Amino acid sequence: MLFKDVLVDESLKKRLISLVKENRISHAQLFLAPAGSHAFALAMAYAQYICCEHPGEDDSCGVCPSCAKFAKLSHPDVHIIFPNCTTTEVKKDPVFTKFSAKFCQFVLDHNYHIDINDWLMELGGENKQAFINTRDCSYIVNQNSIKSYEGGYKIYILWSADRLYRDAAPKLLKTLEEPENKTLFILITENTDKMLTTILSRTQLVKIPKLKSEVIRQQLSKDFNISEEDAADVAVLADGNYNRAIELINDNSEYKETLAQIQLLLSSMLALSQPVPNKAEVNYLEVRDCIDAIISRGREYQKNFLSAFIRILRSMLMKNSHQDAISKASSTESAIISQYAKAFNLKNVSQIFDECNKTLYHIERNGNSSLVFTDWYLKVAELIAPRP
C-alpha cells in the first residue's frame, strides 16, 4: 500500500514520513481512527515505507522486493493480528494464524476499506464475538524474541485492538514496554474506552481525523460510475465514514433491512404506548418475527441495529429542535424521522438512550438476546407513552 493511495489527511502522512526520516519511530503507536477511515491502509503504508529499500521523499518506491511483498500482504517481518473466533472450520482454540490467508484476501478484495462486521461475515462468525485472544498474544511474545527475517524492522499491526481480550492484553504489557530493537507495534482502534489503560499508557497516540466530505466525494466519483451530484449527496450522508458511503452506493440490503425493522418497531411501540392500545396496530406477531430476525443475524448485527436506532432518535431530537438542517439522513431515514418525531422529546429520548445503552451492555456480555430485546421493546413503548 502506497501513501498516495491512502484516504487520509496529507499532513498526517507527512508527519509519519518525517518520523521515519528522522529516525524517531516510537516502538508502540496507537492509531485512533473514526469508523470508516482508511486506518489499516495507513498502517500498512507506514510499515511499507519503513521497510522500503529505496524510499522516496513522499512515498515508498513500490517496486523493490520489499514493496512487492507488501502488495501481496506477505512480508515475513510484518505480522497482522486481528480478531478471530471459532467457526465451522476451526471448532476450538482459534488463533489468527489459522485465518491469515482469508483475512489478507478479505483486505485485498475490499481495497483496504475493512470493517469488523464485514470481517465477521467473511469469517463465518457473525453469531459470535471475535477477540484477539491469549493464543494470539502468545504468538506475538514468542515472535518478539526472534530476529527479523530480512534484518530490518519487525512490525506488528493489531487491527481492532479494542478487541484485545481482557485476559490476553496483560500478556503484551512487558513486550510493549521493552520490545526487541527495531520492533514496531501499531495498534488500530475506533474506541479506546474498551482498552486497558495499561496498554494505552505504553503507546504513542496518533489521531486519524475523520474524512472530509469532499475527499469522500472525489473518491466515490473515482471508484463508482455515479454522477457528481449523487456522489456529493452520499458523501454528506456518510459523515466521514467511507465504508458507509460504499454501502449507500451499493444500496446495501442490510442497511435497508435495518431501517424497515426500525420503522416496524417504532410503529408498534407508538401503538402500544396509547392509553387503549389497538391490538391490530400493535401487531405483536410481526414484532415477534422482527425481533427473531434481528437476533438470528448475530450479536454484531444486534449492536448495529441499536446503534442505527440511536442515530435516528438523535435526528428526531434535532428535528424537534428545528435543527434538522444539520442532521445527516438518507431519504428513507428522513421519512421515518418525519413520521415519528412528534412522539419523542428531550425527556423521554434521554431515558430511551439509557435503555438502548443497557441493551447494548447486555448483548455484549452474551445476555439472552430474546429476553433482552423483548424487554427493550416494552420499556421503550412505555417511555413513549404520554405522562399525565
Is 259:315 a contact under the CB 8 Å cutoff? Answer: no
Same domain, residue pair 296 and 369: yes
Examine the domain organization and report whether 29 and 155 are in the same domain. yes
What are the residues whose beta carbons fall under 8 Å from the beta carbon of 92, sequence distance 6 or more?
A: 86
Same domain, 56 and 151: yes
Q: Taking residues 53-69, what's their average pLDDT? A: 96
User: Chain-centre distance of CA 178, in angstroms?
Assistant: 30
**What pTM did the predictor assign?**
0.72
The winner for highest mean pLDDT among 87-91, 211-215, 299-303, 368-372 is 368-372
For residues 37 and 150, membership in a common domain is answered with yes
Tell whether 135 and 239 lie within a shared domain. no
The pLDDT of residue 128 = 75
What's the count of helices (H) and strands (E) in the chain, helices before strands? 18, 5
What is the grid cell recorded at 16? 509519519
* In a shared domain, residues 218 and 190: no
Dist CA 188 CA 309 (whole Å): 27
- Answer yes or no: do 133 and 153 share one domain: yes
Going by C-alpha positions, the residue among 193, 138, 184, 208 that lies closest to residue 161 is 193
Q: From edge to edge, which strands make up the β-sheet containing 204-207?
A: 78-81, 154-158, 183-189, 28-32, 204-207
Q: Find out whether 87 and 122 touch, Cβ atoms under 8 Å.
A: no
pLDDT tops 90 at residue 8: yes
Q: Is a pLDDT exceeding 90 seen at residue 388? A: no
Side-chain-side CA neighbours of 273 within 13 Å: the count stands at 21
pLDDT of amino acid 141: 93
Q: Quick one: which of 136, 133, 134, 116 has its CA closest to 125? A: 116
28, 173: one domain: yes
Residue 385, pLDDT above cutoff 90? no
pLDDT tens sequence across 326-372 = 666 666 788 899 999 999 988 889 899 999 999 999 998 989 999 99
Cell 416496524 maps to which residue?
A: 264
Query: What CATH number is given to the structural domain containing 193?
Result: 3.40.50.300
- pLDDT score of 209: 94
Strand-pair category, 28-32 with 204-207: parallel
Q: Which residue has the higher pLDDT, 18 or 248?
A: 18
The domain of 231 spans 214-248
Q: What are phi and psi of 386, to 5 degrees?
A: -65, 140
pLDDT on residue 194: 87
Percentage of the chain surpassing pLDDT 70? 96
Distance CA 246, CA 315 (A): 22
Domain boundary among the residues 160, 194, 210 is at 210
> Which of helix, strand or coil describes residue 262?
helix
Q: How confident is the model over 10-54, as pLDDT tens digits?
A: 999 999 999 999 999 999 999 999 989 999 999 999 999 999 999
Listed ranges 205-209, 212-216, 305-309; the one with the highest mean pLDDT? 205-209
Are 46 and 138 contained in the same domain?
yes
- Are 36 and 142 within one domain? yes
β-sheet bridge partners, residue 157: 80, 186
163 and 301 co-located in one domain: no
Cα gap 129→365, rounded to integer Å: 10
pLDDT tens digits along 65-77: 999 999 999 999 9
| 166 and 278 part of one domain | no
Q: What is the mean pLDDT of residues 313-329?
A: 78
As for how many domains the chain has, the answer is 3
